[in-house]
Amino acid sequence: MAAALTIATVDPSDASVILLVITVNTVVGVVQEVRVEEAVAALSAMNAPSARVVRDGEERSVAASEVVPGDLVLVAEGDVVPADADVLAAASLPADESSLTGESASVEKAPDGDGTRGTVSAGTVIVRGHGRVDVTATGADSALGRIAALMGAAPGPTPLQHRLAKFGRTLATVTVTLCAIVLTLGLVRGQPVELMIVAAISLAAVPESLPAVVTLALALGARRMADRHAVVRRLPAVETPGSVTVIATDETGTLTEGRMAAEQLWTASVGEALVAGTGYAPDGRTVRNGETVPPSEAPDLTAGPGRPDAPGSP
């Protein structure tokens, strides 16, 4: 509106500045969203890109999106299950269901099992072995699809958007009041009407820089998060984690890689110690006060609970 009024009063310089601010704001937001959509599309392409099915007695490879209920699918170690299915045959067939349930421990699958032992779900990964499954549900009808449907609702305003909306209303009220005062005082002093209108519009256009500044700040935040391998789909979400005070989660792999390993120990008798090593590899060391401590010199760390030599044992 400010740009249109400025053009109407034949003030191209002010109009150009206002349009430039709006253009920069729009371009930054669109570029960020396009980049994120490309990243999300690449991640989606990794989700069961193909499946081996048996149709008309012949084994063939088809896109996961072409799998339909009733298909016989062959699964093996490393395969992403393309759909919900019943297990017909299995040879040591554990499945990693952390993407669905958050549990890091794999679940052994077997035909005619009880509960979920006789079924596999879309999006889960076969840890080892091989088997044959009969597809029962695909897409939105699968367990993973039903979870995705729960996330279909539009997200509400973020804390930053709430604060900006409140600040914007206050700023708009103050700006309109100041414009009216400047226009009135100018006309009272006998200034030309056109000049005072341009002055009032210029004063009203000052807040136009606020969206650009906020957008650029959020874009920089999204860039830094991307450097740490965190994909931000919507710019306002960059600020949301900063408003979080408590995160309630578990330790089974929901927010981790699903591989549990101790990194820090504490005992009442001696205090803190750091553990170096990765996963279940048979190497590592225990560090206390900046020095490596062998197990023979750290009985408080090697003693198990309930043993007589364990800290706190009777």
Tell me the three-class secondary structure of 76-136, residue by residue.
Answer: ECCCECCCEEEEEEEECEEEECHHHHCCCCCEEECCCCCHHHHEECCCCEECCCEEEEEEE
Specify whether the CB–CB gap between 145 and 122 falls below 8 A. yes
**What per-residue string of b and e applies to 186-225 under the rule 16 or more CB within 10 Å gives b?**
beeeeeeeeebbbebbbbbbeebeebbebbeebbebbeee
Structure tokens at 277: 């090593």
Rounded to whole angstroms, how far apart are CA atoms 58 and 262?
A: 48
Rounded to whole angstroms, how far apart are CA atoms 136 and 142?
A: 8
Specify whether the CB–CB gap between 100 and 121 falls below 8 A. yes
Helix (H) or strand (E) holding 246: none
Rounded to whole angstroms, how far apart are CA atoms 247 and 256?
A: 14
Sequence-separated contacts (24+) of 214-218 with Cβ below 8 Å: 214/160, 214/164, 215/25, 215/28, 215/29, 216/24, 216/28
Q: Which of the following is catalytic: 250, 283, 300, 309? A: 250
3-state secondary structure of 270: coil
Which amino acid, residue 201? Answer: I
Q: Is position 86 annotated as part of the catalytic site?
A: no
Write out the catalytic residue numbers.
250
